[in-house]
Structure 1
Amino acid sequence: MDFKNSTENNEKVDANYNVVPLREAMCKTERRLRRKIDIFVVPTVMLMYLMCFIDRANIGNARLAGFEKDLKLKGYDYNTVLSIFYVGYILFEIPATMCCKIMGPGWFLPLATVGFGACSIATAFVKTRAQVCAVRFLLGIFEAGLMPGCAYYLSRWYRRAEYSFRLGIFFSTVPLSGAFGGLIASGILKLPHLGSLKGWQMIFAIEGIITVAIGLLAFVTMTDRPETARWLTEEQKELAINRVKSERLAQAVLLDRIDATKLKRGFTNPITLATSFIFFLGNVTVLGISFFLPTIIRTIYPSRTTIDQQLLTVPPYIVGALLLLLISGLSWRFDHRQAFIILTGPTVFAGYAIFLATINANIRYAAVFLSASTAFALGVMSNAQVAANVTSDSARNIALGTNAIFGYCGALLATWTYLPWDSPKYMLGNGINLACAATWTIVGIGAAAWMVYDNKKRDERQAAGMEEIVGLSQLEIQDLEFRHPAWRWKL
Structure 2
Amino acid sequence: MDRQDSSDVEKASVHNIEEAALQGHAATDKAGHVLIHIDPAEEARLRRKIDIRILPTVALLYLFCFIDRANIGNARLAGLERDLGLSGYDYNILLTAFYVAYVVFEFPAQMVNKWIGPGKMIPILSFLFGLFSLCMAFVHSFGAAIAVRFLLGIAEGGVFPGIAFFLSRFYRKDELGFRLACYIVCAPLAGAVGGLLASGILKIDSIGPYTRWRNIFLVEGIITCGIAIISWFILPDRPEVCKWLTPEERALAEARIKAENVGSTHVVDALHNKAVYGGIFNVTTLLCATIFLFDNIVVQGVGFFLPTIIRTIYPDETTIQQQLRTVPPYVVGAFTTLLTGYLSFKTKKRGLYMVISAPFMILGYAMYIGSMDPQVRYAASFMVAIGAFSFGALCTAWAAANVTSDTARASALGTVVLFGNVGGLISTWTMLPNAAPRFLPGNAFNLSNSSVMLILSIFLWLYQIRENRAKENGRDDWRIEGLTQTEIEDLGQKHPGFRFRY
User: What letter matches 1:365 in structure 2?
Assistant: Y
Determine the structure 1 residue equivalent to 2:492: 481
SS in 2 for 1:294: helix
1:156 to 2:169 alignment? yes
Question: Can you list the C-alpha shifts for 1:287-346, whole angstroms capped at 9, x where unaligned?
Answer: 010100000000000000000000000000000000111101110011011111111110
Determine the structure 1 residue equivalent to 2:302: 289
Q: How far off is 1:55 after superposition? A: 0.3
**Higher mean C-alpha displacement, 61-70 vs 161-170:** 161-170
In structure 1, list runs of 5 or more residues that go unmatched: 8-22
Determine the structure 2 residue equivalent to 1:445: 458
SS in 2 for 1:127: coil
Equivalent residue for 1:467, pick from 469, 478, 491: 478
Q: How far off is 1:415 after superposition? A: 0.4
Determine the structure 1 residue equivalent to 2:334: 321
How many angstroms apart in 2 are the aligned matches of 1:423 and 1:168? 33
Q: How far off is 1:27 after superposition? A: 2.1
User: What letter matches 1:223 in structure 2?
Assistant: P
User: What letter matches 1:333 in structure 2?
Assistant: K
Contact 1:2–1:242 at 8 Å: present in 2 too? no
Question: Can you list the C-alpha shifts for 1:369-398, whole angstroms capped at 9, x where unaligned?
Answer: 111112100001000000000000000000
How many angstroms apart in 2 are the aligned matches of 1:2 and 1:146? 37
Determine the structure 2 residue equivalent to 1:130: 143
Contact 1:3–1:239 at 8 Å: present in 2 too? no
Question: Can you list the C-alpha shifts for 1:59-82, whole angstroms capped at 9, x where unaligned?
Answer: 000000000000000000000000
Counterparts in 2 of 1:418 and 1:238: CA distance versus 1, 3 Å: same
How many angstroms apart in 2 are the aligned matches of 1:163 and 1:3? 24
In structure 2, list runs of 5 or more residues that go unmatched: 1-13, 21-36
Determine the structure 1 residue equivalent to 2:315: 302
Question: Can you list the C-alpha shifts for 1:401-442, whole angstroms capped at 9, x where unaligned?
Answer: 000110000000000000011000010111111111111000
- Matched-pair identity in %: 45
User: What letter matches 2:372 in structure 1?
Assistant: I
SS in 2 for 1:124: helix
User: What letter matches 2:311 in structure 1?
Assistant: R
Contact 1:297–1:312 at 8 Å: present in 2 too? yes
Equivalent residue for 2:380, pick from 342, 346, 367: 367
Count of aligned positions: 474
User: What letter matches 2:483 in structure 1?
Assistant: L
Determine the structure 1 residue equivalent to 2:52: 39
Q: How far off is 1:3 after superposition? A: 6.5
Equivalent residue for 1:227, pick from 240, 243, 250: 240
Q: How far off is 1:466 after superposition? A: 2.6
SS in 2 for 1:221: coil
Question: Can you list the C-alpha shifts for 1:156-176, whole angstroms capped at 9, x where unaligned?
Answer: 001111111111111110000
Counterparts in 2 of 1:330 and 1:459: CA distance versus 1, 3 Å: same
User: What letter matches 2:496 in structure 1?
Assistant: P
How many angstroms apart in 2 are the aligned matches of 1:280 and 1:3? 43
Contact 2:17–2:251 at 8 Å: present in 1 too? no
Determine the structure 2 residue equivalent to 1:28: 41
Determine the structure 2 residue equivalent to 1:60: 73
Q: How far off is 1:207 after superposition? A: 0.1
Q: How far off is 1:2 after superposition? A: 5.7
User: What letter matches 1:239 in structure 2?
Assistant: L
Q: TM-score, normalised by structure 2?
A: 0.92
Equivalent residue for 1:403, pick from 416, 424, 441: 416
Q: How far off is 1:270 after superposition? A: 0.8
Q: Which runs of 4+ in 1 moved over 6 A?
A: 3-7
Q: How far off is 1:5 after superposition? A: 12
Determine the structure 2 residue equivalent to 1:413: 426
Determine the structure 1 residue equivalent to 2:114: 101
How many angstroms apart in 1 are the aligned matches of 2:498 and 2:255? 19
**Pairwise CA RMSD of aligned residues?**
1.6
Determine the structure 1 residue equivalent to 2:3: none
User: What letter matches 1:152 in structure 2?
Assistant: F
Counterparts of 1:179-194 in structure 2, within 5 Å, are 179-194=192-207
Equivalent residue for 1:259, pick from 272, 276, 281: 272
Q: How far off is 1:145 after superposition? A: 1.2
Contact 2:18–2:251 at 8 Å: present in 1 too? no
Equivalent residue for 1:89, pick from 102, 115, 121: 102
Q: How far off is 1:255 after superposition? A: 0.4
Determine the structure 1 residue equivalent to 2:30: none
Q: How far off is 1:237 after superposition? A: 0.4
Determine the structure 2 residue equivalent to 1:15: none
Question: Can you list the C-alpha shifts for 1:105-147, whole angstroms capped at 9, x where unaligned?
Answer: 1210000011011101110000111000000000000000110
How many angstroms apart in 2 are the aligned matches of 1:442 and 1:392? 29
